[in-house]
Amino acid sequence: MIPGARLVLLGRQGAGKGTQCARLSRHYVVPHISTGDMLRAAVREGTEFGRKAEEYMHAGELLPDDIMVGIVDERLESDDTRTRGFVLDGFPRTVAQAEALLEITSPRGINVVIDLEVPREVVLARLASRRVCNDCGTNYSVDLPPKYDMVCDVCGGDVVQRDDDTEKAIAQRLALYDRETEPLIEWFQGKGLLDVVDGTGHPDDVTDRLVRTIDRRREP
């Protein structure tokens, strides 16, 4: 395996995107850039920006494109992403963000954008049982909890239900995905960058499918 890859994962909330991005980040030895985790970190730090971000997140709304593009642009400027690559999780979420991403990453561009496909019913059930580490953002669920009593396996942090995982906020985020982010699938298809991967079944099988798809795209 040759390290390095420039990847984007799309998928509805609850498709297992976060978990799979973390695995791909280890597999290809590239940073996992999750805009949701970055925003939650800012909220925890209690900065003025964090407080502003929290308002949007609580309301189940997207942050403005220019703010998100600025954050991701800055992160993609750093040495680790420039030399090894990245796996982007939660960005882009709108066509304007996608356009900005292709500009930021040019001329090298990205290897592939993957739509991790999971039926809506499966997604709803997963979201209700989702739990997340307060400190490092590792995802768990009621069915696949940490080894010890809701203490994170990775960092020892508290594993909790995200406070934006309320029923109302979930419904709103799914509707938002359909309206703002789903159109990206066709948009990236038009650029010849999109592959669809089945996100159902055991997480290990999903990772295998992802790696096979990605390696096909990374071949010289």
CB atoms within 10 A of CB 90: 23
Is residue 19 close enough to count as binding ligand ADP by CB under 6 A? no
26 is catalytic: no
Cα–Cα nearest to 206, from 17, 2, 35, 33: 17
Q: With contact defined as beta carbons under 8 Å apart, do 16 and 206 qualify?
A: yes
Select from 34-42, 102-110, 196-204, 207-215 the region that touches ligand ADP (CB under 6 A): 34-42
187 binds, among ligand ADP, Zn ion, none (CB under 5 to 8 A by kind): none
Q: How far is the CB of 3 from Zn ion (least distance, A)?
A: 24
- Closest distance of CB 64 from ligand ADP, Å: 8
Using CB distances below 5 to 8 A depending on partner kind, what does residue 152 bind out of Zn ion, ligand ADP, none? Answer: Zn ion
Q: Of these, 5, 6, 28, 91, which contacts ligand ADP (CB under 6 A)? A: 91
**Which residues touch 123 (CB under 8 Å, ≥6 apart)?**
12, 13, 14, 15, 174
Q: Tokens standing for 134?
A: 């307060």
Q: Does 68 bind ligand ADP (CB under 6 A)?
A: yes
Given 36, 85, 157, 199, the residue binding ligand ADP (CB under 6 A): 36
Q: Does 102 bind ligand ADP (CB under 6 A)?
A: no
Q: How many residues bind ligand ADP (CB under 6 A)?
A: 15
Taking the least distance from each CB to Zn ion, the nearer of 95 and 136 is: 136
Residue 148 and residue 41 in contact, taking contact as beta carbons nearer than 8 Å: no
Give yes or no: 168 in active site.
Answer: no
- Tell how strand 159-160 and strand 130-133 pair up: antiparallel
The bridge status of strand 85-89 relative to strand 112-117 is unpaired
Can you tell me which of 30, 62, 116, 197 binds ligand ADP, judged by CB under 6 A?
Answer: 62
Per-residue binder mask for Zn ion (CB under 5 A), 155-194, x = binder: x-x-------------------------------------
- Residue of 17, 23, 131, 209 with catalytic role: 17
Distances from the Cα of 38 to the Cα of 42, 112, 121, angstroms: 6, 23, 28
Q: In what order do the strands lie in the sheet with 194-198?
A: 32-34, 85-89, 5-10, 112-117, 194-198
Q: What is the DSSP letter of 147?
A: S
Q: Can you tell me the distance from the alpha carbon of 34 to that of 47, in angstroms, rounded to the nearest whole number?
A: 19
Which residues are near ligand ADP by CB under 6 A?
A: 13, 35-36, 39, 56-57, 61-63, 68, 90-91, 93, 97, 173
Question: What positions carry a catalytic annotation?
Answer: 17, 93, 130, 162, 173
